[in-house]
Structure 1
Amino acid sequence: MPAAHPNALGTVVSATDNPELLCGELVRWVWQSPTGERAIAVLEDPTHGRWKIVGPLWGLTVGQTVRVWGKTVDDPKYGQQFRVESAQPALPNSAHGLAAWLGSGVVRGVGKRTGLRVIERLGDDALALIRTDINVLQGIVGKKRRKLLAAKLEELSAAEETAVFLFGLGLGPALVTKLQKHYGQDTLRKVRERPYDIINEIYGVGFRTADKMARAQGLDELAPERLQAALLFALQELAAQGHSAPPQGVVVEAAANAAVVAVQCIAAQVEALVARSVVVACHSRDGHGELKPALALSELAGAEQAIAQWIAGVVGSSERTSPQTPAENATAIALASAKLGFVLEGTQLQAVQLGLSAKLCIVTGGPGTGKTTILRGVLAALADDQTRVQLAAPTGRAARRLAEATGWPARTLHRLLAIDPAAHSVRATTVMDADLVVIDETSMVDAALMAQLLLALPAHARLLLVGDADQLPSVGPGAVLADLLACPHVARVRLDQVFRQAQASHIVVAAHQVLAGRVPSSAPSGGDFFMIERPDAETIVQTVCKVVLERLPAHRFDPVQDVQVLAPVHKGPLGTLAFNERLRELLNPDAAPALGGFRIGDKVLQLRNDYTLELSNGDIGRVVGVATKAAPATEDDGDDLADEDEDDQPLDTVDRASGPTLQVRFGERTVDYPLAQLENLTLAYAITVHKSQGSEYPAVVLPLHSCYFGMLQRNLLYTAITRARKFAVIVGEQRAVARAAANNAPIHRHTQLRVLLEKLP
């Protein structure tokens, strides 16, 4: 039985609390998957004997000394084996292992013959001698390669020491591996000196994990750094829920719960964070409209202050922003109407007039009310003059739709603002070259992004914001569109009339029925919107699957490419997790395995913005393959390696970190995901309604049941229905749909922006 490992104090930790450890030579491969991600191998541990190990073993080579963490299992078919959770190269623990390590190509130009010569000259104590003085290899290995070998040995030694220390803190193999990959040789210093910083630096690490590291090293539960970390974590968690300035009492209580201390202990640390300018004390309004003392992370506070200052400048300015006179604009509008073949009247005419003349104008309205018509009218009116126009949207999907609808080029906001992909925060890097900037899907724009947009606008430029105020708010913190619409100083036009061509779509009719608080009615036979009543969760699941696999394909919808299941939540019998598991087994059951548990052909969702890859949170793609990149073959230069003149040669270590990549097709391009980035992907046969913002799908299926009670809100139901371009189906309880349509209580977000805008004269 593999031994439990010692903790940092040298005490053996029970294997029931921590993973077991094997360390020895990788003797041979029994089986390897085509991608190399999973394998079965034989490992010889000097203490625990020969074991069959099973799991992720990418990058390891036969003859190498490796350290594996996991657990012993008795497989009914294959007998006793060691199931690997994490594996990494280790310092060789025998002369044979050292020869194999040197021969594995860890340094280019040092190969098998050199490894054997080292053992012949130095014997069984070769490793100890080399670690004591690398120059014992003089005459066998040249100077530059000796330096590289010394560095690799130091790296392995540090990794071993770090792993033992981290396991001693009670961390699991996956987290240990993630920490070491992220921080490298700096891991120990980071964990010992600033464990709470890891919360912001590694995705998926929260206060509980960082606190576990800190407390295991003896940090007192009332240490100021611990309590302040709990406060910051609470603010970050509330920001993730959309609150840019939550009430101080809510923040303090959440932090006290996280740290498991009295509220008074946390409250005493608020001033310290404010004094450090990490947190800003401000005010926001609660769900009842009452003004409350609030706290905000400094970046979010600064963003909302920047928005308010820009709006104040617009309100206080008496300059005419349009270079054209009202008469010239009227002429341009008339010419544009004739060119486009329609007459602008009422609110549509008012919206185009404001779009041409106002410094800031918001156009909002539901489906079929003519938002695209407004944009086409504004752009057509400007087509013959020298106005420089920029069109953008929050996501790539929305930008493509905007370009298709208007015939003008459109970009993502991040591309428009030239935001540095490598930056950890949103920062525009240039002032735009534009006279008019048009932003579509403004409900998706959070406070940080809006602030950068306004900071990048030239002083003379006008801004036209277009969006649907009845949709769900942005994923990021803030309620920018709602707060701007609540400010009486901001010019706006609300489009309410549904035009005749849109009335032919029962999807549009259903959406407006929901806005009116009514249960949407199914279309007549041959229509594009239906509700199928089902009483319980299991029959809802069965019906959703039947609709996806049979009924919609009968209408020529591809069940994977065209159909999107939208669920209100992730967990539970009707959540995205359950639907994804069920639908994948029905839609892609026998596909070849890829990486990270995905299969070739899987429908996948990007979970976070990645500006380097130009991917947005919510982008959907298909797994199309796996690319493998083998390490280059090792050349052994024999006696020439002893020549000290080799220092003139460019040398490096073999890069084995590239590994296999998962290839995902997004539209017209393929993106390669290395193993470390697979946490940014999840299955997308079903996604949440929130993730669907800014997207349209040929067909949408929405399961609704009373078990979603807390999520049954009008804007969620409305957003889901309006994601469908050609066909929408609701499957579930009539009372759940009625509850959602009737529940117009807004999803209240605590923001400082609304309070700041209230102060404008």
Structure 2
Amino acid sequence: MSTEPETTEEVEPGTPGAGATADPQDVDTDTDADTDTDTDAAAVTDAVEGGTETEGAADAAKLSEAAAELAAQRLERERIERRKAEKQGPIAAGTKLSGTAADLLAAVRAVESGEKPVATAFREPEPTPRRAVAPEPVPRPQPVAAPAETSAALAPEAAAAVRAVLGEGGAPDALAPGALAALGEGADDQLREDPWQLLRVAGVRPEQADGFARALLGAECRPDDERRGRAVTVWLLEQAALAGHTALDAPALTAALAQRAVPDPDAAVQSALAEGDALVFQDALDTAPPAQEEGAEESEERPVRVLIGLERYALAEESLADGLARVMNSVPKTDGSADGWEQAAASATRSAAELIRAVAGHGLVLHTGGHASQAETAALLHAARGLGLRGWAATHTPSGRDDCTARMARYDLPDGPSGDAGDGPVTGVATVAGLLSGAEGPGRDTDGAFDLDLLVVLDAPQLDVETAAMLAESLPDGARLVLSGDPGVLWSAGPGRVFADLLAARVCPQVASRTPDPGPVGELVSGVGIGELNQVEAPGKEVVIVPVRDAGEAVHRTVQLVADSVPRAIGIPAEQTQVITPGHGGAVGTRALNSALKERLNPGPGRFGGFDPGDRVAHSPAPGRTTVGHVVKADADGLHLECSGLPVVVPKERVEQSVRHGWALTAHQAVGLRWPAAVVVLPGDAAAALTRPWVYTAFGRAERHLSVVHGVEQALQRAVAEVPQKPRTTRLPALLKAQVPAAG
């Protein structure tokens, strides 16, 4: 396809490589979407519908009434914003804060508002334009703690003691709940003894902890303090986990410590190891030692790499490797003759037959393919049921569970434990979280293992090491495990790259699906997966490119597509169209787009913590898990939502941390979800954030129609062709290699 930019406003359907004609220097990321003209809106309609339409006389008649209503709503919102601003003003008891205290207070408010810091310490530096889109934050890979308010309420004396210490160090009181949650009982004494323990509180950075330590220790505060080196070492390892690493090469860690003004990085690492705050590992490299001359003594030394990691992730990877080895070594449960499996395979399609035959003879099988390949896992579960096995599928999201259940319904399979009476085999679908918690799935037997014979995990690339380890540990002896997923999508939010590591290790059978995703969108996404941005034929406007010049135009055209053009030209209503953008912040991030989309689709004062009944929301009950729903109401119990057809009540103290407006999502939030239509927004300042997996994931969320609001010119094609997934440092490949002889 041509790499030349288009020279007109309209772009023919199905030309994903086309770009806007604006000079990159002319892009204004601060342009207000409200200043865009009606001519721009008409251009969007032209791109999707192939022509312009004038508003009817009836719409004109309603203009004054609608304008009056909008004006009243704006006044109400302004009043609310003024009240919020007054509450967020300078602290009355301490006048205005400055310096370290102000920085700490800003960090606390950032965390409380959901703007978690992005881990950049171990990511490759990227050239970032001025006023660039904020990179998509990766949720902190740890279990959701109890609300900070609850912890403080349960220990008022402890909270008061911690606040007193924080006040002495010039830190805001708002850090007290986080300090209690991170340090536990005696948090005040720990902070006095070691002020750098403040780094364990989410959102606090080394320079802020240094200021706190100077205020408490005075002249005794020194850069070479052993406590500082140890705390910064642990902080760097936690930042690495945010970026997906389960461990770090020792040289990378010491280099990062040097950048953080630790005078003796090696001593800092040794101190952390001696105190048990981190663990050291020596993993053998693949490189073989040099050949020995004849008659010379054989050398037993092999090259190794030294890794430093936190205990929780180290133990999780080791537990996962042991659990997978047990699955591969155990004899699968007796489930009929080989003829039964062969007969089931013979009646299936080619790819499904290959999968059935692989599962018949092995405890662990990897299955790769796009969304359409889930038909093959449904056929596998049907075959297992026919052989008397209890088989279950587990998905990443409730939406994926519902989609898989619909596929399995073709085989007349039940969707839960109640599908069969008595002690007969049970087949169904659950979410991974529900399966592990016991809220969904077959339950557990007397030994605490899953009461099943076959587990098929869909969306396998979303498994982090801790979740995967829990699944492997919960499988009974003789059970079969199938990990199925699309290797081209973004990896898990938590640390590790379990599915990719297993594919690279080649310790078990791998079955690649030959079932392509249908239609022009499927063809486009398949090309992206192999690094090609192809022009596709889209006679039904299945793929449309909308060029934009700046951020304001990108916001305006996105709203026009969702609210008007796609419903009118494609027949897909706004509630079935999802907007996907690279980050939360910036002029075209999720916050800006959600604000504009709410104004158009469900205007209101946001009287319930910024939300109104009918608002579309994204609920994140735990890091790495997002469900999409809408607001029903709010009362003393909290914010009432409906997500995937189920009622959800979010306590009011958790709303700000776990609920966002959901008309626009990031690609990480959208993994595991699909919609009839998707609008992918690529503003000019997002070029540095684009990678092939990001584009593959974002484009692949569309089932029938994909609109691309395109402002990155040739950066999109370069990202698809040249920018792979960011590497992650993990130990699982070496651990699996050690298990290969046992696994056969």
Instruction: Quote the residue 1:557 is aligned against.
Output: 572
Structure 1 position 512, deviation (Å): 1.1
Matches within 5 A, 1:67-86: 69=93
Structure number with larger C-alpha Rg: 1
Counterpart position of 2:212: 213
Residue 731 (structure 1) aligns with: 709
Q: Name the CA shift for 1:757/1:726 in 2 (closer, same or farther; >3 Å).
A: same
**Residues 384, 185 of structure 1: alpha-carbon distance in 2 compared, 3 angstrom cutoff:** closer
Q: Which residue of 2 aligns with 1:29?
A: none
Q: What corresponds to 2:436 in structure 1?
A: 417
2:651 aligns with: 673
Provide the residue aligned with 1:362 in structure 2.
366
The amino acid that maps onto 1:236 is E
Q: Deviations over 1:80-127 (max 9, x none)?
A: xxxxx99xxxxxxxxxxxxxxxxxxxxxxxxxxxxxxxxxxxxxxxxx
Give yes or no for the alignment of 1:526 onto 2:540: yes
Partner of 2:342: 330
Q: How far apart, CA to CA, are the structure 2 residues paired with 1:38 and 1:286?
A: 60
Once the 2 structures are TM-superposed, how far is the Cα of residue 181 of structure 1 from its aligned partner?
9.5
Q: Please identify which structure carries the higher strand content.
A: 1
Identify the residue that residue 624 of structure 1 maps to in structure 2.
632
Using the TM superposition, name which of 667-676 and 684-693 deviates more: 667-676
Cα distance, 1:429–1:568 mapped onto 2, change above 3 Å: farther
TM-fit CA distance, 1:756:
2.5
* Aligned position for 1:661: 638
Letter in 2 for 1:192: R
In structure 1, the residue matched to 2:262 is: 261
Deviations 1:246-285 (A, max 9, x none): 2222223334444x333xx232122233344432223579
The 1:679–1:199 alpha-carbon spacing in structure 2 relative to 1, beyond 3 Å, is farther
Tell whether the 8 Å contact from 1:215 to 1:221 is kept in structure 2 after alignment: no
TM-superposed CA distance for 1:497, in Å, is 4.4
| Structure-to-structure mapping, 1:76-225, within 5 angstroms | 163=163, 165-172=165-172, 174-176=174-176, 188-189=188-189, 191-193=191-193, 199-200=199-200, 203-218=202-217, 219-225=221-227
Deviations 1:219-264 (CA, angstroms, capped at 9, x unpaired):
5433322211111111111111111122222223334444x333xx
Verify: 1:440 aligned to 2:445, yes or no.
no
Decide which of 603, 606, 611 is 2:616's aligned counterpart.
603
Matched residue of 1:670: which SS? strand
Alignment of 1:300-339 (within 5 A): 300-313=313-326, 319=331, 323-334=335-346, 337=347
Provide the C-alpha distance between the structure 2 equivalents of 1:695 and 1:158, rounded to a whole number of angstroms.
43
Unaligned 5+ runs, structure 2: 1-75, 97-107, 110-151, 289-302, 410-414, 416-427, 441-445
1:348–1:527: structure 2 CA closer, same or farther, 3 Å change rule?
farther
Quote the Cα distance in structure 2 between the aligned partners of 1:40 and 1:535. Answer: 33
Compared CA separation, residues 172 and 320, structure 1 to 2 (3 A): closer
In 2: Cα distance, 1:589 partner to 1:178 partner? 35
Contact conserved, 2:693 with 2:724, CA < 8 A, in 1? no
Partner of 1:576: 590
Name the residue aligned to 1:752.
731
Report the Cα offset of residue 671 of structure 1: 1.2
Identify which of structures 1 and 2 has the higher relative contact order when contacts are C-alpha pairs closer than 8 Å and 6+ apart: 2
Judged with a 3 Å threshold, the aligned counterparts in structure 2 of structure 1 residues 598 and 261 are, in CA distance, closer, same or farther, namely: farther
- What's the % identity of the aligned pairs? 25
Q: 1:742 to 1:175 in 2, by over 3 A?
A: same
- Whether the aligned pair in 1 keeps the contact of 2:329 and 2:363 (CA below 8 Å) is no
AA aligned opposite 2:675:
Y
CA contact (8 A) 2:195 2:216 kept: no
Instruction: Say if 1:70 and 1:429 are closer, same or farther in 2 by CA, change over 3 A.
Output: farther
CA-to-partner distance for each residue in 1:599-646, whole Å, 9 max, x for gaps?
444333234517xxxxx6222232333213xxxxxxxxxxxxxxxxxx
667-676 or 583-592, which moves further after superposition? Answer: 583-592
**Which one-letter code corresponds to 2:170 in the other structure?**
G
- 1:542 aligns with 556
**Distance apart, 1:183 and its partner CA:** 9.0
CA distance in structure 1 between the partners assigned to 2:631 and 2:191 by the alignment:
36
- Judge conservation of contact 1:567–1:576 (CA < 8 Å) in 2: yes
Q: In the alignment, is the contact (CA less than 8 A) between 2:531 and 2:720 conserved in 1?
A: yes
Secondary structure of residue in 2 paired with 1:274: helix
| Distance change (3 Å), C-alpha of 1:40 and 1:661 | farther
CA shift at 1:731, angstroms?
1.3
Aligned to 1:450: 468
1:480 to 1:181, Cα distance in 2 relative to 1, 3 A: closer
Match of 1:353 among 350, 357, 361: 357
How many residues are aligned here? 568
Q: Which residue of 1 aligns with 2:270?
A: 271
- Tell me how far 1:398 sits from its aligned partner: 2.7
CA–CA distance in 2 between the matches of 1:227 and 1:184?
22
Q: Which segment is superposed worse, 234-243 or 280-289?
A: 280-289
Match of 1:297 in 2: 310
CA distances 1:675-696 after superposition (whole Å, capped 9, x unpaired): 2552222332322111111111
Matches of 2:576 and 2:702, distance apart in 1: 10
Q: Give the residue type in structure 1 aligned to 2:281.
A: C
TM normalised by structure 1 equals 0.66
Tell me by how many angstroms 1:387 deviates. 1.3
Return the offset for 1:329. 0.9
- Given the alignment of the two structures, is residue 386 of structure 1 paired with residue 388 of structure 2, yes or no? yes
Letter in 1 for 2:392: Q
Please state how far the C-alpha of 1:56 moved relative to its aligned partner: 8.6
Contact 1:245–1:284 (8 Å) recurs in 2: no
CA 708–193 in structure 1, closer or farther in 2 if over 3 Å, else same:
same
Corresponding residue for residue 693 of structure 1: 671
